[in-house]
C-alpha cells in the first residue's frame, strides 16, 4: 500500500509539443521501478483523442474538459481525488496546449491548500519546429502564448530529438533534450523532477488577460466523434491516413494554419492514431499499424487551427461527405475558446 503522498507532475507546452507521448513513456519507465502512474488530460472541449490513447496504453486516465485547469481548478481537484482508489505514486497532469499562467492558477493553489500532494517542478515542452516558427513571430497571438509558457517554466525541455537531433536551444534558457518516442533523456528527466530538490511554480508571471483571451480566441477548436461503417471492411491505417491527408490539403488550400490535427480509429482489429502539428507535415503514427480490416470503426478527430470556427467546421464536414461510407452517431463541436477566468490566482506578495 502506498503511504507516500503522490507526486503531481504538470507537463505543459504548446499544442503538439509531445506532452502525451512523453507522459506515456514516463509511465512505462515508472512501472519498471514498481511505481503506479495516472494521467489527467485537459481540453476546452470533450471527446479527446489523447484520453483514448492513454487508456489504450493501459494507463489510468481522468479528464477535465470545458476549460483549462486554471478555469476548472475545482474539477481538477475532483479528478485527482477520483484517482485515490488506484493509489497512484505519480499523477501526470497535462494542461491545454494553449494555456499559460499555470504557476499562479494551478501550482500555487495546490501548494497552499492541498498538502496531501507533492508538487514536481513545472515542465514545459518545446517542439523545435514550432519554436523556430513562433520565434520568428509568424503569428502574434500564438507567439504570445508560447513565450508566456516559457517564462513560467521551472524546466524547459526540447522534445522530438529523434526527429530533430541537432535542434538548437533557446536564447537565455537552460534546456534539456529528450524524446518521448525513443525514451532519450526521459529517465534523467524523471530523476530530476522527482528528486524533491526543485521548487514547483517558482516563476509566476504577469499576464495581460485581455491579450491572453484574444490569443486563445484566434484558434478554432474542433472535436468530432462518429461511427464509420465502410461499404467493405477497411483497416484502421486505410481510414486514418487518407482522412488526415485530405483534411491537411483542404485546410491548406483554405489558408488555415494547423496547430494540431489528430485522427484516431478504434476497431475490433486494433487502434491507430495519426497526428500532425503543421500543414504539410509528415504524420506521427501510434498504435497498431498492422491492424487488419474491420467492418466498424469508431473515429475521433481533434483539430486546433487558426481560423473561423464555422469555416473550419465546413471544411471538415465537406471532407467527411466525400467518403463512400455510412456515418452514424456523429457528434461535432467547433468553437473558439472563451476568455480564461481562473477560479484561483495566487501570486507572491
Residue 11 placed within a domain: yes
What mean pLDDT comes out for the span 9-13?
Answer: 97
Do 189 and 241 fall into the same domain? no
> Domains in the chain: how many in total?
2
How much of the chain, in percent, has pLDDT values that exceed 70?
Answer: 97
Do 14 and 146 fall into the same domain? yes
| pLDDT for 130 | 83
Q: Among 30-34, 131-135, 252-256, name the one with the lowest average pLDDT.
A: 131-135
Longest distance between any two alpha carbons in the chain, whole Å:
65
Domain end call among 196, 216, 236: 216
Residue 55 placed within a domain: yes
Q: Which domain holds residue 308?
A: 218-335
pLDDT tens string 85-103: 999 999 999 999 999 999 9
What mean pLDDT comes out for the span 7-21?
Answer: 96
| pLDDT for 223 | 96
CB atoms within 10 A of CB 131: 20
Q: Which residue in 4, 92, 11, 51 sits closest to 262, CA to CA?
A: 51
Residue 87 placed within a domain: yes
What mean pLDDT comes out for the span 235-244?
Answer: 96
Does an H or E element contain 80, and which? helix 73-82
Residue 263 placed within a domain: yes
Do 210 and 251 fall into the same domain? no
Residue 347 placed within a domain: no
Sheet containing 297-306: order of strands = 284-287, 270-276, 257-267, 297-306, 219-230, 325-335
Do 90 and 207 fall into the same domain? yes
Residue 109 placed within a domain: yes
| pLDDT for 348 | 78
CA distance 19 to 34: 22
Q: Which residue in 88, 89, 148, 91 sits closest to 124, CA to CA?
A: 148
The enclosing domain of 169 has a CATH number of: 3.40.50.300
Do 45 and 137 fall into the same domain? yes
The enclosing domain of 301 has a CATH number of: 3.30.70
| pLDDT for 78 | 96
Do 73 and 208 fall into the same domain? yes
CA quadruple 36, 2, 105, 185: dihedral positive or negative? negative
Residue 141 placed within a domain: yes
pLDDT band, very low/low/confident/very high, at 1 (cuts 50, 70, 90): very low
Do 33 and 47 fall into the same domain? yes
Do 237 and 328 fall into the same domain? yes
The yes-or-no verdict on residue 64 having pLDDT over 90 is yes
Chain Cα centroid distance, residue 6: 22
Q: How many Cα atoms within 13 Å fall on the side-chain side of residue 267?
A: 27
Do 237 and 209 fall into the same domain? no
Do 145 and 53 fall into the same domain? yes
Domain end call among 216, 244, 264: 216
Residue 340 placed within a domain: no
Q: Which residue in 213, 31, 205, 240 sits closest to 105, CA to CA?
A: 205
Do 94 and 197 fall into the same domain? yes
Domain end call among 192, 216, 240: 216
The yes-or-no verdict on residue 236 having pLDDT over 50 is yes
pLDDT band, very low/low/confident/very high, at 170 (cuts 50, 70, 90): confident
Do 175 and 225 fall into the same domain? no
Amino acid at each position: 500500500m502506498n503511504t507516500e503522498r503522490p507526486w503531481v507532475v504538470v507537463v505543459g507546452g504548446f499544442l503538439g509539443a509531445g506532452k502525451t507521448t512523453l507522459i506515456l513513456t514516463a509511465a512505462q519507465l515508472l512501472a519498471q521501478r514498481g511505481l503506479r502512474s495516472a494521467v489527467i488530460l485537459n481540453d476546452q472541449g470533450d471527446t479527446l483523442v489523447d484520453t483514448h490513447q492513454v487508456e489504450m496504453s493501459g494507463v489510468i486516465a481522468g479528464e477535465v474538459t470545458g476549460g483549462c485547469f486554471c478555469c476548472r481548478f475545482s474539477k481538477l481537484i475532483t479528478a485527482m481525488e477520483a484517482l485515490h482508489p488506484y493509489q497512484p505514486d505519480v499523477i501526470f497532469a497535462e494542461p491545454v496546449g494553449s494555456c499559460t499562467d499555470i504557476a499562479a492558477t494551478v501550482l500555487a493553489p495546490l501548494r497552499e491548500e492541498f498538502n496531501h500532494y507533492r508538487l514536481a517542478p513545472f515542465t514545459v515542452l518545446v517542439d523545435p519546429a514550432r519554436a523556430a516558427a513562433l520565434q520568428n513571430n509568424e503569428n502574434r497571438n500564438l507567439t504570445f502564448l508560447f513565450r508566456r509558457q516559457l517564462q513560467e517554466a521551472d524546466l524547459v525541455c526540447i522534445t522530438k530529438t529523434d526527429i530533430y537531433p541537432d535542434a538548437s536551444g533557446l536564447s537565455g534558457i537552460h534546456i534539456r533534450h529528450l524524446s518521448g518516442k525513443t525514451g532519450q533523456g526521459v529517465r534523467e528527466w524523471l530523476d530530476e523532477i522527482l528528486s524533491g530538490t526543485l521548487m514547483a511554480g517558482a516563476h509566476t508571471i504577469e499576464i495581460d488577460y485581455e491579450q491572453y483571451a484574444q490569443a486563445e480566441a484566434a484558434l478554432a477548436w474542433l472535436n468530432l466523434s462518429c461511427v464509420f461503417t465502410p461499404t467493405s471492411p477497411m483497416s484502421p491505417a486505410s481510414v486514418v491516413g487518407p482522412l488526415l491527408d485530405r483534411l491537411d490539403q483542404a485546410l491548406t488550400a483554405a489558408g488555415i494554419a494547423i496547430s494540431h490535427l489528430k485522427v484516431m480509429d478504434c476497431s475490433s482489429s486494433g487502434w491507430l492514431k495519426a497526428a500532425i502539428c503543421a500543414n504539410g507535415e509528415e504524420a506521427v503514427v501510434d498504435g497498431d499499424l498492422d491492424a487488419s480490416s474491420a467492418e466498424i470503426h469508431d473515429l475521433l478527430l481533434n483539430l486546433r487551427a487558426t481560423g473561423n470556427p464555422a469555416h473550419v467546421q465546413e471544411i471538415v464536414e465537406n471532407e467527411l461527405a466525400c467518403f463512400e461510407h455510412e456515418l452514424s452517431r456523429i457528434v461535432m463541436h467547433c468553437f473558439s475558446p472563451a476568455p480564461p477566468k481562473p477560479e484561483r490566482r495566487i501570486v507572491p506578495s
